[in-house]
A and B are shown apart, each in its own frame.
Chain A
Amino acid sequence: MAAKPKLCYFRGRGRMESIRWLLAAAGVEFEEEFIETREQYEKLQKDGRLLFGQVPLVEMDGMVLTQTKAILSYLAAKYDLYGKDLKERVRVDMYADGTLDLMMMIALAAFKTPGEKEENLALVVKKAKTCYFPAFEKILKDHGEDFLVGNKFSWADVQLLEAILMVEELDASVLSDFPLLKVVCEQPHKAQEAMNRDKDFSKICLQAFKTRISSIPTIKKFLQPGSQRKLPPDSHYVKTVRKVLQL
């Protein structure tokens, strides 16, 4: 029987979290080795397991893989979450890359000074509200399907859900600012009108997307407490990372 993938990273989200999400979504069990000391890190480097001296590191299928996007693409292809052809694949790539950009801004903000951090996170929420989420809402609205690409669950859906939840941790109201959704939330008596106007309304907005993807069994399991999902970065995490990477 094939060995489980083994993830090596800090005990926190950082650049590994999207990998955890994708493995979980694909229903793949994995093991984790957590880096806690500088010595551990130096040993990894000396052992030659880190091609460019960096983590994340994932060992699977006889390969020693680093570079987050390389790992994510491999997993998406392996578990059939990458669209059915090249044209669907490029859309999955576009959407996944966009959401990853957004999430990386949040991950990096944890390492800024308090004033800068607040400013950066406010910018992230603004970008999510004015640029990223409207783009995805439009995609869902235009095709009216349950999933972002090809009417089938893909890596793009996993990452969008991950991004939505991450931004909601910064601003719980972030999804409610969408015009269509605003009608439903603030003027429920007009909701029926809106829904009659647009029969598939309940299927097409981001809030509905979030609910739908969250209820996929593998995702639902990952969202339970006790799963391998990690918490937002706290001061202990930041301190550990700074110590290990000598930042």
Chain B
Amino acid sequence: MAAKPKLYYFDGRGRMEPIRWLLAAAGVEFEEEFLETSKDLEKLRNDGSLMFQQVPMVEIDGMKLVQCRAILNYIAAKYNLYGKDTKERALIDMYIEGVADLNEMYLFWSISPPNEQAAKMTQMKDKIANCYLPAFEKVLKSHGQDYVVGNRLSRADIHLVELLYTVDELDPSLLANFPLLKALKARISNLPNVKKFLQPGSPRKPPMDEKCLAKVKEIFQLK
């Protein structure tokens, strides 16, 4: 029987969370090895396990994959969550790259010094409310279908719904004016694999707290 994919990262969301969501949505069980100290990261680097000396790294199908995008593309294609042809794929990619940009903003906000966070939060909320959510609501409205692309479940739905959960955590009122997005969130959350992932005790990680932040700074030697 094939070994389960193994995820190498710290015990937190960061850049690994979309990978956890996608594997879970695809119904794929996985294992995790958590970096606790900078020595753990050093060991992985010295082992030659990290092509560009960075995590995330995922061991899957006999390969040691790095670069989130590459990992997510592989999982999506393998589990048939990438649309039916290159044109659907291009649309999916366009939408998820937007989600990824917002995730980057969120990531940098979560590790910023406290005195910079307020300004970054304002900027982020502005983009969420005036750029990203309207764009996605418009996509759903344009075809009136249950899924973002191609009238069937794809990674676009998963990544978008993950984002909507994050937005909800930041400020629930941000979703108020987007009925189609709210409906998508409810619908996708009800899919058995996603529902399971949203239960307590799943591999889903909580938002960054002070303890986790301190650990992250040590592991990656950030100031």
Contacts and interface: CB of A to CB of B under 8 A. Distances in A.
A93 B73 contact: yes
Nearest to A67: B97
Contacts of A71: 90
A94 B97 contact: no
A168 B186 CA distance: 51
Contact of A135 (B52, B77, B132): B52
A68 B100 CA distance: 12
A111 B37 CA distance: 34
Contacts of A67: 93-94, 97-98
Contact of B97 (A69, A86, A98): A69
Interface string B60-88: 01010111011101100110000000110
Nearest to B85: A77
Contacts, number: 78
Nearest to A102: B52
B51 interface: yes
Contacts of B135: 51-52
A89 B74 contact: yes
Query: What is the interface residue range for chain A against chain B?
Result: 20 to 34
B190 interface: no
24 contacts: A51-B135, A52-B131, A65-B90, A65-B94, A67-B94, A67-B98, A69-B69, A69-B93, A70-B90, A70-B94, A73-B90, A74-B93, A86-B74, A87-B61, A89-B73, A90-B71, A90-B73, A90-B74, A94-B66, A94-B70, A98-B51, A98-B66, A101-B52, A135-B52
Given A90-B74, A101-B52, A131-B53, 18 more contacts: A51-B94, A51-B135, A52-B101, A61-B87, A63-B91, A67-B97, A67-B98, A69-B93, A70-B94, A74-B90, A77-B89, A86-B77, A86-B78, A93-B73, A93-B74, A94-B66, A98-B66, A135-B51
